[in-house]
Structure 1
C-alpha cells in the first residue's frame, strides 16, 4: 500500500551530523531512502527544525538546511521534489519518492516577511508556526503564559494565506489555535498530533480542535510519539494508535486522518515502529481493524486529496 508521512526530522540529523548518508540504511536515521522504498512510502515531508541546541537560530541556519535538503535528499535519483500539483502527478506517474519541504517554527524568520517569501520560492509548502515555546509570532503549547498571536504573527497568517503556504498547528497553544481559526481562511493541518481525549498530553488536540480541523477541510497526522499515544504504558503497542484513529472517526473525521510519524525527532518509539521501514507492522494492524478502502485513505488517500487541493496549481 502507498504511504504519505506528514512529518519527520531527518533534516535536523543530517544538519547536526554531516557524515550521515540519506541514501544508505543508517542506523542513526529513522528515515532514509532504503527504508522509504522498503515501506512503500510515496511522499515524505521533511521539516526544517532548528533544534534547541542552536541558541540563536538565524535565517542562515534555515538556508543551510534547505541546502542539505537539495544536496542530500532530492539530489538522490530515487527522490522527486514536490512543489506543486504537477510535481505530485509526475511523482505518481513514476517510481520516485516525493519529498515536500516544510518549516517547523518561524523563530529564525525574525518577523521578516521577505524571508518568508524566499522560503516559498525555495519550495517550502507548509509552516508550523511554533515549536513548544513562544516566538515573535505566537505562543507554543508549552509556553507558561498560554498566549496567542502577536499583531505581526497575525499579519504573517495573511501572508501564508496569500502565498498558498499551508499552516500547521502542531505545537501551537490553544489560545493561538483559536485566534488562527478566526484569521486564516484556508484549510490547515496538524501534521503530527493525536487526540487529547485518548491521551491527555498538552501537545494533543481537544475534540473541539479536531472538529475545527475537520470543519475547515484540514488534516490530522496521527503521530508515533509514544507519550502522545499512551500516557500510562511505557511500552506502547501499535494497537494504541488505533484508539486515536477511532476517536477522530467518531467525530466524523475519517476523511481527515493521515500519519505524521515524527521519526528522527523522537528518542522513544512505539513497539514495532522503530523506523520508517517498519510501516508494514502498522499496515498489518490497520488491515485487521478497518476496511481496505479506509486503510488506503489513512495511509495515503486523505493526504493526497488534501495536497492536490492545497498545493500551488
Structure 2
C-alpha cells in the first residue's frame, strides 16, 4: 500500500498556546497538546489548518487574534519542515514536498467588530478561512446555539462578500440553520463546513441536515468530518466505526470527492476511542481501507482537500 498522507482542516492548538504560551508545539513534553510536530510527522501530515479561536472569557477584539497569529509565527512557522500555505500554488506543491503545510483560519468573527479593514489585515497576515460565529450570536450572524436562530446581519452579508472578493473561504460550521442558508445563497464561491458531521446519523445541532449537506455539495463545497465524540454518536464510548457512518452518509449524498477531515483536536476534552491525536489517524485509515478503495481513502485523507485549496485559494 502506498503511503497515505493526512490533512486536517481544524485544530485548536493556537487557543491552547494563547491560554498557556509556555506550551511547545515542536516538542510538547507536558502532553497538553493533541497536535504537535512529532504527532503530525507520525500521521504523515501534509497539511494542518490552525484555527484562531478567542474564548468567551477573553476580550472580543483584534488583540487576542493578533496574539494568536504571533504565536503561530513564533512557535509553528519557525519549524523548518513547516511551510505557510496562503495561495493555490502553495497548496498544489505540498504533496510529495516533504513539508507540512500550515494554514490559518478564524473561528468566530467577533473580534473584527464589523470592521472589514480588520478582515483585510488578517488576509494579509495569512488567514484563508473564516467561520462567522462560534456557537452564539455576534455582529455578523447567529450561531447554532442562539435560541432565536437568526440569519446573517447586514454587516454579516458584507463580510461574506468581502471574503469572496479576497479569496477567503467561508466556513459554515457553527452557524444557525438560517445563517447557513443565507451564506449558501449569498456566496459566489464554494463554502466549507470545516468540522461538522451528519445530523441524520447523530442529531446534534452542530451537525448538518441532509438538505444542507446536499446543497453545500451541489455548490462545490467541502465537508470536514469531525472527531468530536458528541457530534459522532449519542452513545458512549464512541468508536471509529461510528465515524465511518458519517463518511458513508456523505458518500451516499454524492460527496465522496468533497469529504475531508476537521478533527477539532485541542478543542475537545474527550475522544473517539483510538482517535485521540494525529498519531492515531492511522487507525481510521485502516478502517476506511476495509470499506473503500485506496484512491478513495487517499482523497478523504488529503487529496480532496488539497485539490479544493489548489482550486479556490487566491493566486
- How does the TM-score come out when normalised to structure 2? 0.97
SS at match of 1:293: helix
Is 2:186 the partner of 1:183?
yes
Report the alpha carbon displacement of residue 93 of structure 1 after superposing the two structures with TM: 5.0
SS at match of 1:6: strand
Which one is further off, 84-93 or 263-272?
Answer: 84-93
Is 2:204 the partner of 1:201?
yes
- How does the TM-score come out when normalised to structure 1? 0.98
Is 2:245 the partner of 1:243?
yes
Aligned residues: 311
Q: 2:97 aligns with which of 79, 94, 97?
A: 94
Q: In the alignment, which residue of structure 2 is the partner of 1:133?
A: 136
Q: Distance in 2 between matches of 1:257 and 1:93?
A: 21
Report the alpha carbon displacement of residue 51 of structure 1 after superposing the two structures with TM: 1.3
Q: 1:7 aligns with which of 5, 10, 17?
A: 10
**How big is the alpha-carbon RMSD for the aligned residues of Structure 1 and Structure 2?**
0.9
**CA deviation vs aligned residue, 1:64-122 (integer Å, no higher than 9, x gap):** 11100000001111200011122224433521110000000000000011000000000
Q: In the alignment, which residue of structure 1 is the partner of 2:62?
A: 59
Q: Distance in 1 between matches of 2:187 and 2:287?
A: 36
**CA deviation vs aligned residue, 1:122-147 (integer Å, no higher than 9, x gap):** 00000011000000000000001100
Which one is further off, 23-32 or 119-128?
Answer: 23-32
Q: Distance in 1 between matches of 2:157 and 2:89?
A: 31
**CA deviation vs aligned residue, 1:131-184 (integer Å, no higher than 9, x gap):** 000000000000011000111111111111111100000000000011111211
Q: 1:254 aligns with which of 253, 256, 261?
A: 256
Q: Residue 25 of structure 1 contacts residue 35 of structure 1 at CA under 8 Å; is this kept in 2? A: no
Q: In the alignment, which residue of structure 2 is the partner of 1:309?
A: 311
